[in-house]
Amino acid sequence: MMKNFLDAVRGNPKLAAGALALIAVQGLLQARIDPLRRQPAVEPPSVIKSTGGLPFEYSLAAISGFRQVIAGLLWVRADSFFHSGNYDAILPLLRLITWLDPNWLDVYATGAWHLMYNFTDTDQRSDRRYLPVGLALLNEGIAANSTVFDLYKEKGWNLFDKVKDYPLAADAYKAGRDADPNHDINQIEHLLAHCVERSGDPEGAIAAWADAMRRHKVIWDAAKGVAGKEDIESRNRQGYNNASKNFRIMKVRSYCRPRDIARLGPVEASLGVKVTRIRPRVLRVEGSWNLVGCLKDQYDDLSFDDKGDPKSATISSGIVMDGPVDGARIDVRLQNAGYVMPDSQNFSFEVSDDLTIMQDSLSSRGGRRTLKGTPYQFNPGGAGDQNLERAGIYSYKDQASAPKGISAAQALASGQISPAGQLQLVTFIFPPQTRQKKFYTLADLPGLLSELKSDPARMAQLETKKILVATEDKLLLSEFGKNRDLDMSKDPKMYGFKTDLYDLIVSFSPRSAPDFVQDRLGWNGEGLKDKRYLRSDVKLGQQMLYLKLKLTKEDINGTDKKVLFDDSAGVGLDKLQK
């Protein structure tokens, strides 16, 4: 169409002059009609660098007042690239669309998600070079739409979920709350409370939940019984109930966790790490540690009032049983030496080819702890039993790893089972939920033990299930990274390894751990210790496990299999960095 128009005016000077006059008049009118045209965000400073300039047809469309139309057509095209997996083709379209229509919130949100989640390597690890790029795109969108909460919410979520910078995520949600009086409380203030908790500030999280409850109540009351506002009333009633539940949980945790840690003492993590180059650009990071948590959710049954305050000053501690658990992860990060994620104020799609960042998480599994006088199961090849797990009775699958022991019947008859072991045994045989309880206490033991000993079928069940009682202490550490290779050889564009030195960081932060691990270790690692790798200077206000190794390009690219670091064998200790 544009080509036909140009051909027509080329041979008719009067038509050309008239068309130019109309365009000039239209441009003047459009400047008055469309106040967004003069917003700085319509043409950010980086646009020429990012796009190389707009094609003539798009520039003319923008001048002529059809910016949103062209942006819509480009977005349809970008969506087709999304579905076909042609992600590289989307980037310039995103740049054009946000230039043409800086108030299209979904484009900023979707573009940032694409940059921070969809660029991955062969093993689906995100390309973390694009994290500051995605944040910069959101910052640009926020600058152009500073009075609506949506992009603040997107920024907060990406910082929470992907970057795991909880204080910065909280700042983003606070900014969205303050910028938009009509923000969605569920999307802004509920997530704000979670971010504050993950920042290691339980009292701040309690205050955030209380504020969310107050705001929900105001809207709920105003909409109650008003025709046409039933959805508003329902949504805020549900939001209030959810905030109230989380408020109570936080009050309980804030009360119980410090007392449990003081009573049970800190956990010696005994972290051990081994790093092996399997082949060029393929590393294996493996090791073991003493990962201890709360064996089940034991806080909900405690006696607290509606405000989450303890009803009795003599309330018992929340944790009845603790021990090794599965579920927490060890983080591994390999990056250019000294790399710090840059400020994300200036937007550009460009990332340095010289920069290499790989991050992964390794699951911890297989920990076992059985104390003398407590039960365990010796069951080679057998399936797990949920009731055993709830009672903290661990299964051992081979004789070498299992503790020495005697039959449960013999231990009961001879008194070789401890009170803690008795509690575990009756918890297994008589699951508390079948007695309308969450867990038993020592006060329940006499009656339950008498019932067990007088029931031949129950006693036979102990034999059938191969339940023994340990005559020695036994501890097996949780393992991570075993037989798990971190392969960076298939993605040379993402992992260029063009510089000489790299940092390999192995870490564990309690703030990112599951609740049942935090119950034992605390929000900020108060219940954590380690002889070698406990650090309190890495992230403000918390103790965490952290070791950083300095690797060379040759360490990573070497052709033969080689152990680069093994703290148990004293290999590569010179690579440890402060």
Over residues 440-482, the pLDDT tens digits come to 878 889 999 999 999 999 999 999 999 999 999 999 999 999 9
Among 443, 474, 505, the domain boundary falls at 474
Are both 555 and 571 inside the same structural domain? yes
Whether the pLDDT of residue 501 is over 70: the answer is yes
Q: Is residue 14 part of a domain?
A: no
Using the Cα atoms of residue 371, residue 374, residue 377 and residue 378 in order, give the sign of their dihedral: positive
What's the confidence (pLDDT) of residue 561? 97
Q: Does 89 reside within a domain?
A: yes
Asked if residue 530 and residue 465 are part of one domain, the reply reads no
pLDDT of residue 52 exceeding 60: no
Pairing of the two strands 282-289 and 486-487: antiparallel
Whether residue 66 sits in one domain with residue 50: yes
β partners of residue 284: 276
pLDDT of 213: 97
In a domain, 11, yes or no: no
**Residues 151 and 108 occupy one common structural domain:** yes
Q: Domain for residue 19, yes or no? A: no
If asked whether residues 190 and 96 sit together in one domain, one would say: yes
Instruction: Give the mean model confidence (pLDDT) for residues 68-82.
Output: 72
Domain termination residue (choose one: 416, 441, 474): 474
Is 545 found in the same domain as 460?
Answer: no
Q: Is the dihedral of CA 445, 450, 455, 456 positive or negative?
A: positive
pLDDT at 480: 98
Question: Would 500 be classed as within a structural domain?
Answer: yes
Per-residue confidence at 49, pLDDT binned at 50, 70, 90?
very low
Q: Is the pLDDT of residue 61 over 60?
A: no
- Is-contact 9 15, C-beta < 8 A? yes
pLDDT (mean) for 291-308: 68
Would you place residue 69 in the very low, low, confident or very high pLDDT band (cuts 50, 70, 90)?
Answer: low
| Cα–Cα distance, 158 to 155 (Å, whole number) | 5
pLDDT at 45 over 60: no
Q: Is pLDDT above 70 for 93?
A: yes
pTM (2 decimals)? 0.84
The last residue of one of the domains, among 459, 474, 489, is 474
Orientation of helix 185-198 relative to helix 230-264, angle to 10°: 10
Could you report how far apart the first and last alpha carbons of the chain are, in Å?
65
Question: Which tens digit of pLDDT belongs to each residue from 354-367?
Answer: 999 999 999 999 99
Q: Are the C-beta atoms of residues 280 and 489 closer than 8 Å to each other?
A: yes
User: How far apart are the C-alpha atoms of 77 and 60, rounded to whole Å?
Assistant: 20
Least trusted range by pLDDT, from 5-19, 288-302, 374-388, 541-555: 5-19
Same domain, 165 and 55: yes
**pLDDT band at residue 35 under the 50/70/90 scheme:** very low
Give residue 438's pLDDT band: very low, low, confident or very high (50, 70, 90): confident
Residues 21-39 have a mean pLDDT of: 48
CATH code assigned at 188: 1.25.40.10
Same domain, 347 and 386: no
Q: Give me the number of domains the chain comprises.
A: 3
Residues 222 and 112 in one domain: yes
Task: Give the integer Cα–Cα distance in Å for 31 and 103.
Answer: 17
User: Do 542 and 510 meet the contact criterion of CB atoms below 8 Å apart?
Assistant: yes
- Domain assignment present for residue 318? The answer is no
- Domain shared by 551 and 423, yes or no: no
Residue 10 located in a structural domain? no
Is position 100 within any domain? yes
Question: Is the domain of 374 the same as that of 243?
Answer: no
Nearest to 495 by CA among 297, 304, 351: 351
Is 423 in the same domain as 572?
Answer: no
In the predicted structure, residue 40 carries a pLDDT above the cut 50? no
| Domain of 381, in residue numbers | 370-474
